[in-house]
Structure 1
Amino acid sequence: MIETKNILELFKPIVKEVLESMLKEEREIYLENNPPTKGNGFYERDLKTAFGELTAIRVPRTRDNGFKSALLPYRKRITEDLDALIRAMLISGMSTRKIAEVLKELYEIKISYANISRISQVGIEEIQKWRSRPLRRICRGISGCYGVSYQEIG
């Protein structure tokens, strides 16, 4: 039986290669629209994803420093899918410590408790609104083999 970790490890190089190709193409589009400037090599950065940590991603740059990737925003170190996963674990009641342990065990990603707390703040007001919304009718149902009986409460 193949473990989840091993499957994710197989995808990491593919995801990295595809991402780098997309970034290069994004820069090419920028260069076509800004003829006086030229490409100026690459810089490397890491990205934490649901596939694990992608290290040394080659991000293209330009001489005029005007190229900004829409795929990989500046200073973005964690992908949206991983953000959503962390928020889902927080909503379900997991502590930041437990979330950090799960991410380290399953995805080999190390994220500080402080960063997990920062991620959780995104959308926290919406969650609080949803939790404190007024409830309408509540119906209690009893389902049997031969019939269904419902009783309205409140």
Structure 2
Amino acid sequence: MYKRGVPGLGRRYPVDQDTLQVMLREAVRQTVTEVLQILLDADREAFLRQHGGRKNGYYPRKLETAFGQVKLAIPRDREGKYYPSLLQPYARRQVDVGEVAIALYAAGVSQRKAAEVMSLLLGHRYTHETISAITDQVLEAAEA
């Protein structure tokens, strides 16, 4: 069942709603990746102008965003003093998954249901064990 078409060269190519949604989500994810990469490179350049030093390549990092997982090349400097101001150290998630997990926990949602909800909301598969670990970490930090 085709509801819409994609314009192209004077003709319309039929595309179903699910395919269109997947294409749009991928385009947004790719754009987010490119923008983050540009910002990371500019951030390192600003750091090096201010503090001196030399570039020393990149290291890979996967970051979970509201638009899906993005693969980034995190720039580094030779002295190891630079860390991107855009990211928290060792961050793997752009959204605060801990806050979401605690809110679900406080509402009495089971860990398995919380994992399902977070997977749907954040576009990344979470297990109930992961939710348990995140909840434990956040609660320990709150008690300290």
TM-score normalised by length of structure 1: 0.65
More helix by share: 2
Structure 1 equivalent of residue 63 of structure 2 = 47
- Shift, 1:79, TM fit: 1.9
**CA pair 86-49 structure 1, distance change in 2 beyond 3 A:** farther
Q: Normalising by structure 2, report the TM-score.
A: 0.68
The answer for the alignment partner of 1:131 in structure 2 is: none
Identity %: 31
1:114 alignment partner in structure 2: 129
1:96 aligns with 2:114: no
1:137 corresponds to: none
Aligned Cα root-mean-square deviation (Å): 2.9
Kindly tell me the number of residue pairs found equivalent between the two proteins: 124
Largest Rg, 1 or 2:
1
Q: How does 1:29-108 map to 2 (within 5 A)?
A: 29-35=46-52, 37-54=53-70, 56-105=71-120, 107-108=122-123
Q: Which runs of structure 1 show a deviation greater than 4 angstroms over 4 or more consecutive aligned residues?
A: 1-5, 123-126
SS at match of 2:132: helix
